[in-house]
Structure 1
């Protein structure tokens, strides 16, 4: 099993940390892992994306041009990465701020209204965990207990009190994800 994922959006949406949590989760399951972030010079608001590869065998290169899964969190990323999903692959996106929805018919398309749910939960910081929950519902490539361990590993200890809220956000994402086609 090899899963090649691109997660893309604006800085500040938790793109890189979502990728890091997936990577840590893969390590906890003794998988080979690659985590390769890419972001603009801006602290928040600039573009950010991360390529994560989880595999049962060695990963030859972290640089890839096609992905099994694209998790898209803004229009700029939709324009850039929709065409890079392999035929038969999957695209998951949050419709908030999207003006042109995915058009491909040769991939599975799912939607998660994570920004809306994070606002309902009164915690914008749960946005990325809602998205992660949606992804894991569709493709349970890592075990939930390893995701929690990944959260513990990637969050500074002073933020560990937020782990229960993040677990709740993951569950919400699993409940709310919708298949578009």
Structure 2
């Protein structure tokens, strides 16, 4: 991994910001340079939210991403807005539980993961759809270890949420396994 530029986007309340923070902290734990830039719509919960995460072995000149290597789209507006930001041969991870639009570009790799459904069916927790998408990202990128993601989870949420670690670890595994099942 030389330089990953990731845009995570969805509705407020879907864990998009925490997904980005976990990615950034995980990158730090693996001795990378990182940046995390949040962007919120006018409303928090239910409004649009996205963040830009850059993970690189080199210094990062700007946290702003105009050409992403990976986009994680948790809903339709995210797909519509950020599909065009992807570089040629970039990766689009789509939460197909909530996205019914079909990506327009043919020069990118698209992975459809029914993260919201899998969160309920396999994890018994609708709040871990973001972690399922993160697990899919980990499978595709192979650049960050699950161990460091779990350490980053504790950094983002604190020790008071340590009881949620096993559920989130399961969600990461579900995301990875789902891609193995469909490949």
Q: How many residues align?
A: 181
Between the aligned partners of 1:111 and 1:161, the Cα distance in structure 2 is: 30
Structure 1 residue 155: Cα displacement: 1.1
Between the aligned partners of 1:27 and 1:3, the Cα distance in structure 2 is: 13
In structure 2, the CA distance between the partners of 1:57 and 1:8, relative to structure 1 (3 Å rule), is same
- 1:6 partnered with 2:7: yes
- 1:93 partnered with 2:94: yes
The answer to whether the 8 A contact 1:35-1:62 is kept is: yes
The answer to whether the 8 A contact 1:3-1:53 is kept is: yes
- Which residue in 2 is equivalent to 1:105? 106
- Which residue in 1 is equivalent to 2:63? 62
- Which residue in 2 is equivalent to 1:139? 141
Gap regions ≥5 residues in structure 1: none
Q: Normalising by structure 2, report the TM-score.
A: 0.94
Structure 1 residue 177: Cα displacement: 2.5
Structure 1 residue 41: Cα displacement: 3.1
The answer to whether the 8 A contact 1:112-1:178 is kept is: no
The answer to whether the 8 A contact 2:73-2:93 is kept is: yes
Between the aligned partners of 1:134 and 1:95, the Cα distance in structure 2 is: 13
* Secondary structure, aligned partner of 2:31: coil
The structure 2 residue matched to 1:160, chosen from 142, 159, 162, is 162
Gap regions ≥5 residues in structure 2: none
- Which residue in 2 is equivalent to 1:175? 177
The answer to whether the 8 A contact 2:98-2:116 is kept is: no
Which of structure 1's runs of 4+ aligned residues deviate more than 4 A? 178-181
* Secondary structure, aligned partner of 1:41: coil
Between the aligned partners of 1:56 and 1:101, the Cα distance in structure 2 is: 34
Structure 1 residue 30: Cα displacement: 1.0
Structure 1 residue 43: Cα displacement: 2.7
CA RMSD of aligned residues (A): 1.6
* Secondary structure, aligned partner of 2:124: coil
- 1:129 partnered with 2:149: no
Between the aligned partners of 1:84 and 1:166, the Cα distance in structure 2 is: 29
Structure 1 residue 64: Cα displacement: 2.1
Structure 1 residue 97: Cα displacement: 2.6
